[in-house]
Amino acid sequence: MDGADGDRGAGSGPGTAGTDGGSGTPGDDDVTGMAVAAGPGGRITDPERSLPAHGRDSEPGMDEVLTRAMAWVDGNLDAFLPAVAFWPPGTPPRHLSLLLDLAITCHFLCRRRTPVQPAAEKALDGVAEVFHQESFHDQLLHTPARFPYYLWLLAVLWRTDRLRDSHTRATAQRLLDGGYGDLAAATRPPYGLMETRYVLDLGGFEHRLPPLRELYGRTTAGTPISSGQVTEAVAYEVTHAVFFLTDFATRPLPALTPRARGLREAVDRLLGAHIRSGHWDLVSELIACRRALGRPDGLLDRLGRSCLSRAQLGGGALPGPRYDPAERDALPVEKRATYTFVRCYHTTLAAILCAAVDRPLR
């Protein structure tokens, strides 16, 4: 998944959302004022109160991490799926990233055999309901900067049989053919082109972009990564490159020349570094990447999963890199749930991906 302005840190993540930097997450400046719809009972579900604290001093299996994290997502579904009224013209795209990160994660889940299948299907039904609202649909389709989000959502909904309207896909294809949004412009960063290629393939669109393997070779992830390059930005580019190349761990890594070995070693270095820093968002994505790269379960994986299970909050959310319990507790009571949601939602989705990656495909 990716992001550029929020609690994944630098970059969807889980996301991976349709901009050159990936999907954004709510920015720090908007933590207490973000317009999200209330959850069940008229408020966002507070992960510190919705369930009793559990597992802080134990190491539950990843099935339990998955089940509890998805229960938190389900309890906060209205915050992920706010009414279109919250998206007037000019609204920043971070709200779109909420929707898209949820859609990408649930598409991932629906391709595997997991105990949270009903919750994932329910969430995708909600995404489809929002997408098909005329005002929302038109806003994405008629705003070039939001066209990548439109294509991502369209592709996921088409792949999950929630979009059967041939006219909608034909309209998107005509816009692509006409160069709408400049998605294939040679001036775009290689990572952005790689993401676009993946999305267009996922949606079954015709295009002339180079193969993913070729685009990968132009990215930071496709060049030798030194031991000093363990930054957040590099890590997210690596994880998303791996996700695109392997269709989120559903197909083997294509032959990448000798660089493939260097990529595997770089993922190991990045995972060790971010376990040490307590960056649970990247730990989740990097463990999933190790699986996608065909790496056997090892010490780093077990250590990372243990850390994730211990870090999981009482309500099932996983704390993002900028979640601070003291900062949260200093807020007025009515703002704490929103704070936790904004600071934890992407890391929780990433942990879901990590917890489900070893599940057999459907």
Percent of the chain with pLDDT over 70: 79
Select 28-356's CATH number: 1.10.4160, 1.10.1660, 1.50.10, 1.10.10.
1.50.10
Residue-level pLDDT at 184? 86
Instruction: Indicate whether 93 pLDDT > 90.
Output: no
Instruction: Indicate whether 147 pLDDT > 90.
Output: yes
What tens digit of pLDDT does each residue of 245-270 get?
999 999 988 776 566 678 888 899 99
d(CA 148, CA 293): 27
Dihedral-angle region of residue 37 (phi above 0 means left; psi in -120 to 50 means alpha; beta otherwise): beta
End-to-end CA, the chain: 21
Residue-level pLDDT at 90? 55
**CA 199 distance to own-chain centroid:** 14
d(CA 10, CA 62): 26
d(CA 300, CA 332): 39
Question: Residue 112 pairs with which residues in a beta bridge?
Answer: 361
**Mean pLDDT of the region 296-312:** 95
Rounded to the nearest 10 degrees, how much is the dihedral formed by the CA atoms of 122, 7, 111, 220?
160
Instruction: Indicate whether 23 pLDDT > 50.
Output: no
Instruction: Indicate whether 94 pLDDT > 50.
Output: yes
Confidence of residue 32 (pLDDT cuts 50, 70, 90): very low
Confidence of residue 187 (pLDDT cuts 50, 70, 90): confident
Cβ burial, residue 109 (10 Å; 0-12/13-18/19+): buried
Rounded to 5 degrees, what are φ and ψ at 192?
Answer: -65, -40
Residue-level pLDDT at 305? 96
Residue-level pLDDT at 48? 43
Rounded to 5 degrees, what are φ and ψ at 323?
Answer: -80, 125
Instruction: Indicate whether 135 pLDDT > 60.
Output: yes
Q: Provide the whole-model pTM.
A: 0.86
Q: Pick the residue with more confidence: 20 or 110?
A: 110
**Of the ranges 20-29, 89-98, 225-234, 251-260, which one carries the lowest mean pLDDT score?**
20-29
**Arithmetic mean of pLDDT over the chain:** 83
Decide: 17 and 23 in contact? Cβ < 8 Å.
Answer: yes
Instruction: Indicate whether 82 pLDDT > 90.
Output: no
Decide: 205 and 172 in contact? Cβ < 8 Å.
Answer: yes
**Mean pLDDT of the region 214-219:** 89
Confidence of residue 168 (pLDDT cuts 50, 70, 90): very high
What tens digit of pLDDT does each residue of 318-362 get?
999 999 999 999 999 999 999 999 999 999 999 999 999 999 999
Percent of the chain with pLDDT over 90: 60
Instruction: Indicate whether 81 pLDDT > 80.
Output: yes
Dihedral-angle region of residue 205 (phi above 0 means left; psi in -120 to 50 means alpha; beta otherwise): beta
Decide: 10 and 23 in contact? Cβ < 8 Å.
Answer: no
Residue-level pLDDT at 6? 44
Inter-axis angle of helices 147-159 and 94-110, nearest 10: 20
**Mean pLDDT of the region 220-232:** 81
**Of the ranges 29-38, 122-131, 213-222, which one carries the lowest mean pLDDT score?**
29-38
Q: Pick the residue with more confidence: 292 or 56?
A: 292
Instruction: Indicate whether 22 pLDDT > 70.
Output: no
Decide: 286 and 274 in contact? Cβ < 8 Å.
Answer: yes
Q: Pick the residue with more confidence: 134 or 281?
A: 281
Hey, is 13 helix, strand or coil?
coil
Rounded to 5 degrees, what are φ and ψ at 230?
Answer: -115, 30
Instruction: Indicate whether 317 pLDDT > 50.
Output: yes
Instruction: Indicate whether 34 pLDDT > 90.
Output: no
What tens digit of pLDDT does each residue of 54-73 get?
333 334 589 999 999 999 99
